[in-house]
Amino acid sequence: MSITEQEQQQSAPSLLADALPVSVETALRERRNGTGDQPLVVSVKTDIGADGKIGERWVVADTHAVRVLSQNGDGRARIDADLPLADVIDFRTENLVGGGALLAQRGTDVVELARFTTPLVGRMGSVARTLSALAKGEELPEVHDEEVRKCPKCGRPLGKNSNVCRACIDKKATLARLFAYAREFKVQAVVLTLLMFGAIAMDLVPGIIIKRMTDDALVPQVAVAPNIALGRLGVLVGLLILARVVAMGLTIVRGRLSAYLSAIITYRLRTQVFDRLQELSLSYYDKRQTGAIMTRVTQDVNELNNFLVDGLQLLVVHGLTILGILIVLMLNDWKLTLLVLLPIPLVVWATRTTWRFLRRRMERLWHLRSALAAGLNATLSGTRVVKAFAQEEREINRFQRRATELYQVNLSVENQWATIFPMLGLLMTSGSFIVWYLGGRQVILQEISLGTVQMFLFFLGQLYGPLQAMTRIADWLSRATTSAERVFEVLDTEPDVADAPDAVKMPRIEGSLKFENVSFAYDKSRRVLENVDLEVKPGEMIGLVGHSGAGKTTIINLLSRFYDPVEGRILIDGVDMRKVSLNDLRRQLGIVLQEPFLFPGTITENIAYGKPGATPEEVMRAAKAANAHDFIMRFPDGYDTQVGERGARLSGGERQRISIARAILHDPRILILDEATASVDTETEKQIQEAISRLITGRTTFAIAHRLSTLRNADRLVVIDKGRVAEIGTHDELMNKEDGIFRKLVDMQTEINKMRILEE
Amino acid sequence: MPTDTENTVNPVGTSGPAHEQDLLLLDAKKMRLFRTGGSAVRMTIEGLDALGADRSYVRVQIARAFPLSQPDRYTGFRDAQDKDIGLLIAPDGLDPESRRILDEEMERRYFLPVILRVNQIKDEFGAIFFNVDTDKGPRTFYLRQLRESVYRLPGTDRVLITDTDGNRYDIPDVTRLDARTLTLIGHAL
C-alpha cells in the first residue's frame, strides 16, 4: 500500500463498520433498549461461527458493552455474548493456527468472544485495540485498512508478490509488449521485414522454374527441336541457380540482422530485470529461493532470446512461405490444391491436442529444473555443514532423487515428443500420395501438364518443412510467452518499500528517531513487533538487548527501511520515515552486520563500497580508524588483496574490521551495529571495541549487542521481549532492577564467563 | 547452572532427576484440566512441587508438537507467561472432563478445514478457483502460484493447500480427489 493511500484512510470507526444484516440489527436494537441508541463504535463480521465452523458472526460495541451476535436459521439473530465494558480490563487477540481469537480479559479469567481465520487477523487486531481503548476510556487508536490484493480489473486475487493479474494479461499483449522493445530499431525492423518477403519470393521462384523446365524443355507440350529445348534448359537452370544464390544472400543478411535485433532486445530485458531486482524490497527475496530468481534472469531471458532469434523467424518466414506456396498452387489448379490440403486440418487438430497435453508436462519440467538448481545451491552453500555432520551420503541420495525425477520427467516428455512427431510427419506427407495419384491421373487424362504435377510435388516438399516447424511454433510461442510473463512479472512488481511521490529530501539527517506505536509482522499471522514506542536523541547510542527471536533484528530491519511497519510509524528528525527519500536515508545509514559480507574484489573496493569515488588516503584513514590498517599492510598484496569467494581467506575479526572501515568511510548519520557473537581472542576483541567506539562517536547508533563491554558504552539499553519493549534505561538502572530481564541476562552471561574461565 | 528456580520440579511419572532444561513428561493420571467460567484453561498437576504438593497453572496454552505428522500425540502445555510446563505424550488416561477440554482446545487452536468434496474447480489463467465442501462447511477460494501453495507431506498422499488469503486446507488423501482436480493441482505435487 502506498503512503498516499494510507493517508487517505480515516480513523477507526468507519473502517471497523460492516453493514449488519436486518436480523442482527433487530436483535441488537431489542437488546440495546436500555442503553439508548448511540452509534456503534465497532461492528465487524467474523468468519467462524459459534459452532467452530465456517460461518458469520458479528462483533458490535458501543461505549457501554461489546456484544457478539449470530444468525439463526430462521431469519432471526441471537446474542451469543454481552459483556459490559466496565467488567473488562483489556481486549486482545490470540494467535491460533489458521486464524485467531478475540479475547476479553475479565478478572483473572479470559472470555473468548469470537474466532476468525487468517485473513482477518490484522483487522481483528485493530478491533481488539479499539475495544481496549473504549474499555479504558482512552482515545481510539488509528486503524489502517488491510491491503486487499485483488486485480482492479477482474477482481481475482493477485499473486503474493506480484501485482500482475495473469487473467488480464493476454498472450497477445505479452507478445506485443515484447515487440515493443523493437520500436527503437524501426529501420532495422523494416529492413528485416522486407528481407523476409524477398527471401520468401526467392523460395517460390524455383517451383515455377521447375514447372517451366518440365513443360517447355524436358517434355515439351509442343514438339520443338532438341537444340531449342537445350537452350531453354540452360536458361532455366541458370535462373534456378540465380534464384538460389539470391535467396541465400538474403537469408544471410536477414539472419545477421535478426540476430542483432534479438541480442540487443535480450540485453535490454536482462539489464532491466536486474535493475528491478535490485530495487525490490527484501520481502520479495524472503519468499523466494535465490536459484529461482536466478533462473528468471538467466533462463527465462535466454528463452526469450531463443524465441526472438529462431522462433519468431520461424513463425513469420514459415507462415509467409506457406501462404505464398498456397497462392501459387491455387493459381495453377485450385481443385488439386484443395485436395492436397485435405489432411491439413487433421494435422492442425492433432498438433494442438498434443500441445495441450504436453504443455503442463513442460511446465513441470521447468519447475523440476529450477528445484534442482535451488537444491544444488542450498547444498553447495551448506557444504561445511554437510561435511561436518558426515551427511554426504544423504545429500548424494537427495540429489539423486531429484535428478532421477527430472530424468524421468525429461525422458517421458522426450519420449512423447519422439513418438508423436513422426506420426504427425506421416500425416503431413500424406498430401503427396494424393498428388501422385490424383495429379498423375489428370496427367494421364491430359487434363494438366506433367510440369504442374512436378511443381506440386516440389512445393509440397517445401510446405512440409514450414508446416512441421509451424507445429513447433505453438511450443516456441507458449514457452516464450510464459517466459515473457515471468520476466514482465518481475518488471511489473512494485517494490513494497518505495519512495513516496512526495518524498522529502534529507541531505543531512540529524539523527533523532522516534518509534510511534510500531508493530510489524513478516506474515499476517504472527506479529514480531507489537506497539513499540521509543525515542532516541541525535548521537545517542542505544543497545538492543533480548533473547534471540525477540525482535531485535526486526527493529534494525525497520530502521534500515528494508520493510515498512504494519502499524504505527517511525519518525526520523520528526518526519515519517516513509516520506524520506530512500536514497537520502540509505546514504546516511551505515550497517555493520553480524557476518560481514565481502564482495569479490579487492580490500579497497570493499571498504569503498559505500563511497565508490573514495581516494586511497580516505580508504586507508578509514582502515586505520577501524584498526584494520595494520593487518592489511601485512598482506603481500596490501590493499590490493583479493577477498570474497575466490580471494584470500580472512578471519572473522578481520572481516569485521573491514566492514567497520566500510561504515566509517561511508560516514553515516545513523549507525546500526549487529554485533558478532563469534568468539575472537582478547586482543582482537580489544581492537574491534576500539574501532567501534571510534565509529559510533557523533552518530545515532543502534547496537544489537552481545558483549557486556559494548553494552557499557551505550547511553541507554532497550530490552526487547516477545516483540515488545520490556525495559528501557541505562546499564546501571537496569542492573538495579530486581527481577529485571536484563539483570537475568547479565547474570547468565557472567555465569557462562565464569565457566569459560574455569575451563581454560 | 542455576538449580533452584521456581521451575525446578521433580518429574512426574518419570524417573531420573530433572532440572530446568529437561523435558518434563506429564502423567495423564496426575494432571487435570478445568475451566473457571470463562474460556481460560486451568491445569493442576499432582505432587509436582519439591515438597510433593500440587501445582496449579492459570491460562494454560496447549499446542501440538507435531500437528501435521502426529496430531494425537505429544501435546505441549505452556503457562500464561509462555514458559513450558511439560509434555503429554498420549492423552489416554486423562479423566473424561480433562480430555473433553483438551479436545475442545485442540479443535479451537487448529482451524484446518478438511476438504471433503470439490464441487467446482476451474483454471482461470493461472489462478485456480475452488468451490469445496469441508468438514467446517462450504467454502470458495482461489489458489495461485500453485507450486508455493500446494504442499505434499513428505512420503504421504496428504496435501495441504494455502489459498490466496492465507487460509490452509487439508486434503487427507490426494489420490482420492476427482480426476479434474487432480489434473489441475497434480503437476504441482
What are the residue ranges spanned by the domains of chain A? Answer: 3-136, 182-492, 514-588+670-680+695-760, 598-667
Using the beta-carbon criterion (under 8 Å), do A115 and B113 form an inter-chain contact?
no
How far A526 CA sits from the closest chain B CA (Å)? 12
Using the beta-carbon criterion (under 8 Å), do B126 and A167 form an inter-chain contact?
yes
Residue B107: CA atoms inside 13 Å, Cβ hemisphere, count?
Answer: 13
Q: What pLDDT digit, counting tens, does each position of A426-450 carry?
A: 877 787 888 889 889 988 998 888 8
Query: Do B119 and B104 share a structural domain?
Result: no
CB B140 within 8 A of CB B121: no
pLDDT for the residue A8: 34
Chain B residues closer than 8 Å to A55 by CB = 137
Interface of A with B (CB under 8 A): 48-49, 52-55, 96-99, 101, 103, 106, 108-112, 115, 117-119, 149, 156-160, 165-169, 287, 360-361, 363-364, 367, 523-525, 722, 751
pLDDT for the residue B115: 93
How far A355 CA sits from the closest chain B CA (Å)? 16
Chain B residues closer than 8 Å to A108 by CB = 40, 58-59
Interchain CB contact of B164 with A (< 8 Å): yes
Query: Do B82 and B63 share a structural domain?
Result: yes
Q: Hey, what long-range contacts does A288-292 have (CB within 8 A, 24 or more apart)?
A: A288/A161, A289/A374, A289/A377, A289/A378, A290/A374, A290/A377, A291/A370, A291/A373, A291/A374, A291/A375, A291/A376, A291/A377, A292/A370, A292/A373, A292/A374
pLDDT for the residue A138: 80
Counted across chains A and B, CB pairs separated by less than 8 A come out at 106
Q: Considering CB atoms only, which of B38, B137, B144 is closest to A53?
A: B137
A363 CB contacts (<8 Å, ≥6 apart)?
Answer: A482, B187
Using the beta-carbon criterion (under 8 Å), do B164 and A111 form an inter-chain contact?
no
How far B146 CA sits from the closest chain A CA (Å)? 10
Using the beta-carbon criterion (under 8 Å), do A167 and B165 form an inter-chain contact?
no
CB A742 within 8 A of CB A748: no
Residue of B nearest to A370 (CA): B147
Q: Domain A182-492 is classified in which CATH homologous superfamily?
A: ABC transporter type 1, transmembrane domain (1.20.1560.10)
Sign of the four-CA dihedral A209, A210, A211, A214: positive
pLDDT for the residue A475: 66
CB A500 within 8 A of CB A286: no
Residue of B nearest to A368 (CA): B188
How far B48 CA sits from the closest chain A CA (Å)? 23
Neighbours of A256 (CB within 10 A): 10
Phi then psi for A501, rounded to 5 degrees? -60, -30
Q: Does the fold of domain A598-667 match that of domain A514-588+670-680+695-760?
A: yes
Using the beta-carbon criterion (under 8 Å), do B108 and A52 form an inter-chain contact?
yes
Would you call A186 exposed, middle or buried from its count of C-beta atoms within 10 A (0-12, 13-18, 19+)?
Answer: exposed
Query: Do B125 and B82 share a structural domain?
Result: no
pLDDT for the residue A547: 78
Q: Considering CB atoms only, which of B58, B124, B127 is closest to A108?
A: B58
Question: Chain B interface, mutation test: which of A116, A118, A405, most B Cβ atoms within 10 Å?
Answer: A118
Chain A residues closer than 8 Å to B145 by CB = 159-160
Cα angle, residue A152 at apex, residues A149 and A158 outer, rounded to 5°? 35
Whether the per-residue pLDDT at B19 is higher than 60: the answer is no
Residue of A nearest to B137 (CA): A54
Query: Do B96 and B44 share a structural domain?
Result: yes
Enter the pTM of the model. Answer: 0.59
C-alpha cell at position A560:
534500515
Residue of B nearest to A362 (CA): B187
Mean pLDDT of B8-13: 41
Residue B4: CA atoms inside 13 Å, Cβ hemisphere, count?
Answer: 1
Would you call A187 exposed, middle or buried from its count of C-beta atoms within 10 A (0-12, 13-18, 19+)?
Answer: exposed
DSSP classification of residue A320? H
CATH topology of domain A3-136: PH-domain like (2.30.29)
Name the class of domain A514-588+670-680+695-760: alpha beta
Between residues B101 and A185, the one the model is more confident about: B101
Q: What pLDDT digit, counting tens, does each position of B112-124 carry?
A: 999 998 888 887 7
Query: Do B132 and B82 share a structural domain?
Result: no
Using the beta-carbon criterion (under 8 Å), do B164 and A525 form an inter-chain contact?
no
Q: Is residue B5 part of a domain?
A: no
pLDDT for the residue A703: 86
Residue of A nearest to B1 (CA): A751
Using the beta-carbon criterion (under 8 Å), do A722 and B82 form an inter-chain contact?
yes
Using the beta-carbon criterion (under 8 Å), do A157 and B164 form an inter-chain contact?
yes
How far B30 CA sits from the closest chain A CA (Å)? 24
Query: Do B103 and B145 share a structural domain?
Result: no
- Pair type for strands A513-520 and A529-536: antiparallel
What is the count of structural domains for chain B? 2
Q: Considering CB atoms only, which of B144, B166, B187 is closest to A363?
A: B187
Confidence of residue B110 (pLDDT cuts 50, 70, 90): very high
How far A56 CA sits from the closest chain B CA (Å)? 11
Interchain CB contact of B16 with A (< 8 Å): no
Query: Do B152 and B82 share a structural domain?
Result: no
Closest CA to B59 of B31, B29, B36: B36
Using the beta-carbon criterion (under 8 Å), do B145 and A160 form an inter-chain contact?
yes
The H or E element that residue B129 is part of is: strand B127-134
What is the identity of the amino acid at B162? T
Query: Do B137 and B105 share a structural domain?
Result: no
pLDDT for the residue A525: 57
Q: Considering CB atoms only, which of A99, A111, A167 is closest to B124?
A: A167
pLDDT for the residue A489: 75
Confidence of residue B62 (pLDDT cuts 50, 70, 90): very high
Query: Do B98 and B58 share a structural domain?
Result: yes
End residue of a domain, out of B54, B79, B109: B109
Closest CA to A603 of A631, A582, A584, A572: A631
CATH code reported for the domain at A598-667: 3.40.50.300
Distance CA A510, CA A382 (A): 42
Segments of chain A scoring below 50 in pLDDT: 1-13, 160-161
The H or E element that residue A192 is part of is: helix A186-212
Using the beta-carbon criterion (under 8 Å), do A98 and B58 form an inter-chain contact?
no
Interchain CB contact of B125 with A (< 8 Å): yes
End residue of a domain, out of B56, B77, B109: B109
What ipTM does this complex have? 0.84
Using the beta-carbon criterion (under 8 Å), do A54 and B138 form an inter-chain contact?
yes
Interchain CB contact of B4 with A (< 8 Å): no
Q: For residue B64, what are the domain limits?
A: 28-109
Distance CA A26, CA A89 (A): 29
Using the beta-carbon criterion (under 8 Å), do B38 and A157 form an inter-chain contact?
no
How far B47 CA sits from the closest chain A CA (Å)? 24
How far A112 CA sits from the closest chain B CA (Å)? 6
A4 three-class SS: helix
Using the beta-carbon criterion (under 8 Å), do A54 and B164 form an inter-chain contact?
no
pLDDT for the residue A14: 61
Question: Chain B interface, mutation test: which of A93, A106, A116, A117, most B Cβ atoms within 10 Å?
Answer: A117
Q: What pLDDT digit, counting tens, does each position of A484-497 carry?
A: 877 887 777 777 77
